[in-house]
Amino acid sequence: MSHLVHALGHMKINTTDINGVIRDATEILGLHVTHRDDRQVWLSSNGRAAELVLIEADENSAHTIGLEALTAEAVREAETRIEAAGCRILSSEPSLDCMKAGVTFATPEGLRFEIHTPIRNGIYDRRHATHGVGPNRMDHVNLITPNPEATRRHLSAIGGMKLSEQMVNDSLSWMYGGNRQHHILGIVKGDVGLHHYSFEFFEFNDYLKLGDLLDRSDKQMLWGPGRHRPGDNTYAYYTDASGAMIECSGQMALVADDDDFTPNVITNLERPGNVRCMNVWGTPAPLEWREYHFPFAKIA
Ligand SMILES: [Fe+2]
């Protein structure tokens, strides 16, 4: 079984300002709250029971990156590979009661992942009343790791994820899963953390709506809109009340043919001459984006 990991499953975030993050997620991005208890709030852009999970905490940090496998058998298969890959199992139970099976593990770099079965989904429950933009789905996460080569090795050995593209100096690389989207994980080199998580927009006009909604809240885009070369997706970025950076992404290129696919290596690292190797429309990344760092929660 290759591609045990199929897609991005969910993202869990610790925050000191849960109401501020909910306000940004519902009134700007257009998510809806699906569950709330005294510890957690779940939000979704569609019929899935949870895509973004907020945990009330005394810090703002990334808690867990959820990766979706299609079956409980695939989750159990991934579980058998964790220790051999040099990672540590933290729990063999699903973290949310909207999934049948899950296994949570830590990597030596300080990242925490859960590989879990698909989150309960109402397929005809995609649209909800909102004044926010209303994206299609949560589609990818860019994590930050001090050792990209090791992180890719773990994800590949445990979840069957594959490299889709990389910078020659390994400052950025991208991995895909069973849904063939150019990347469900971006791997940034640096102190362990989260660079951004992303929701997929339906159409380009959504960026106009996003910009105006940010303005109404006296906020602004951090970068974009533009089109990335790696993944070929459109993008815009902003930050929310927790300090996490959120990307609003257009549909990505697909790796349609594994057998004939060779991961591209970007060799031109010279700024600003390489701008169109990175961003199709020639809009360079601001320093704030390049150096963005949202911490990952310490793992006991
Ligand atoms: Fe991204």
Separation of CA 24 and ligand 1 centre (Å): 19
Cβ-in-10-Å burial (0-12, 13-18, 19+) of 147 comes to: middle
What confidence tens digit (pLDDT) does each residue in 249-293 have? 999 999 999 899 999 999 999 998 899 989 999 999 999 999 999
Separation of CA 293 and ligand 1 centre (Å): 14
3-state secondary structure the chain: CCCCEEEEEEEEEEECCHHHHHHHHHHHHCCEEEEECCCEEEEECCCECCCEEEEECCCCEEEEEEEEECCHHHHHHHHHHHCCCCCEEEECCCCCCCCCCEEEEECCCCCEEEEECCCCECCCCCCCCCCCCCCCEEEEEEEEECCHHHHHHHHHHHHCCEEEEEECCCCEEEEECCCCECCCEEEEECCCEEEEEEEECCCCHHHHHHHHHHHHCCCCCCEEEEEECCCCCEEEEEECCCCCEEEEECCCCECCCCCCCCCEEECCCCCCCCHHHHECCCCCCCHHHHCCCEEECCCC
pLDDT lower than 70: segments of the chain: 1
pLDDT of residue 1: 52
- Are 65 and 109 in contact by the 8 Å Cβ rule? The answer is no
Separation of CA 142 and ligand 1 centre (Å): 6
Separation of CA 197 and ligand 1 centre (Å): 7
pLDDT of residue 2: 81
Separation of CA 235 and ligand 1 centre (Å): 8
What is the pTM for the complete model shown? 0.97
Polymer length in residues for the chain: 300
The domain spans of the chain are: 5-120+136-294
Q: Does domain 5-120+136-294 have CATH number 3.10.180.10?
A: yes
